[in-house]
Amino acid sequence: MQRRYRIDKGIKYLLFFSAIVSIIIVFLIFFFIFQSSLPAFQQIGLRNILLETTWRPTNGQYGILAMIVGSVMVTFMAIVMGVPLALGAAIFLAEVAPRAVQNVFRSAIQLLAGIPSVVYGLFGMVVLVPIVRRIPVPGNSGYGLLSAAIVLAVMILPTITSVTEDALRAVPRSYKEASLALGATHWQTIIHVMIPAAKSGIIAALILGVGRAIGETMAMIMVIGNSVIMPTPLTDNPLTIFLRQARTLTGNIAVEINYATGLHESMLFATGVVLFILIMIINASAHLILRNGERS
């Protein structure tokens, strides 16, 4: 009995140590990035960095507002397009599809998660960009927010689908049986019982999807156009803003880090700090929404 107790206690301490190490790693990453970005924050100023739209390192202009807007817009568009597809696929796999069909579809969706991002980027350049270019709008090159958002929506699909499916399967079967016994249809049970009961898992899936979308680099570089400009409509039609070229925060770091030196290099690390904080804000907001929903 004492031996079993010691083993259980040892495993408890091992798991605690693993959690502490994970927190320390995150803290060290942030500390390293923040330390390297201090010269930029001190010489340029936080206000100029966040509120200026011009990025010309050769002229000493380091505004990243346009890239923040580009990152947020393409992520939002990808979530709007990808989440309904992922949620529908998860419901189909968890509650509708026969077992044989589940195996085929689940394998196909999991295969999407293993495709390198550069392959998604090549697909976007060769297939998607020419299709978007056919939209008759002056100045439409095919490269822009719409192409990037479609690629991102496909990239986040397997992550959100897999986690959402697991959340739905984790709902106790008694919930479903009780709903059906009360006269609800299968679809009403899914909408009014299964999904609300799996809400925490679905929100966790959304957080993972947002993190994947806002942190994606290679595919974005290949299809978004990489123009450091504030996204604005190409014509009087406000919807043409989705055809505007842009640049994301991650793309900016990847494109320029190889040749950046001095203040320019420090500013790229500052861009990483802004991206880090932006992801933290998104995660904290999602947890707050979930907590308020559980209280209500």
For the record, the structure tokens of 19 come out as 């959690």
Q: Tens of pLDDT along 43-83?
A: 998 889 998 888 999 888 899 999 999 999 999 999 999 99
pLDDT band at 184 (very low <50, low <70, confident <90, very high): confident
Question: Domain limits of the chain?
Answer: 2-295
Q: How many CA atoms lie within 13 A of 47 on its CB side?
A: 0
Q: Which residues pair with 246 in a beta bridge?
A: 225
pLDDT band at 295 (very low <50, low <70, confident <90, very high): low
| pTM of the predicted model as reported, rounded to 2 decimal places | 0.86
Rounded percentage of the chain residues whose pLDDT exceeds 90: 41
The number of residues in the chain equals 296
CB 127 within 8 Å of CB 107: no
Q: Which residues pair with 225 in a beta bridge?
A: 246
| SS3 of the chain | CHHHHHHHHHHHHHHHHHHHHHHHHHHHHHHHHHHHHHHHHHHCCHHHHHHCCCEEHHHCEECCHHHHHHHHHHHHHHHHHHHHHHHHHHHHHHHHCCHHHHHHHHHHHHHHHHCCHHHHHHHHHHHHHHHHHCCCCCCCCCCCHHHHHHHHHHHHHHHHHHHHHHHHHCCCHHHHHHHHHCCCCHHHHHHHHHHHHCHHHHHHHHHHHHHHHHHCCHHHHHHCECCCCCCCCCCCCHHHHHHCCECCHHHHHHHHCCCCCHHHHHHHHHHHHHHHHHHHHHHHHHHHHHHHHHHC
Among 1.10.3720.10, 3.40.50.300, 2.170.120.12, 3.20.20.70, name the CATH number for the domain at 2-295.
Answer: 1.10.3720.10
User: Which candidate, 294, 262, 277, 284, places its Cα nearest to that of 29?
Assistant: 277
Instruction: Give Cα 117 distance to the centre of its chain.
Output: 13
User: What is residue 1's predicted lDDT score, i.e. its pLDDT?
Assistant: 61
- By the 10 Å C-beta count (0-12 exposed, 13-18 middle, 19+ buried), 181 is classed as exposed
CB 210 within 8 Å of CB 108: no
In angstroms, how far is the first alpha carbon of the chain from the final one?
A: 45
Q: Tens of pLDDT along 193-206?
A: 999 888 888 888 88
Average pLDDT over residues 1-19: 83
Q: Tens of pLDDT along 260-287?
A: 888 999 999 999 999 988 888 887 877 7
In degrees and rounded to multiples of 5, residue 140 shows phi and psi of -80, 110
For the record, the structure tokens of 32 come out as 């390293």
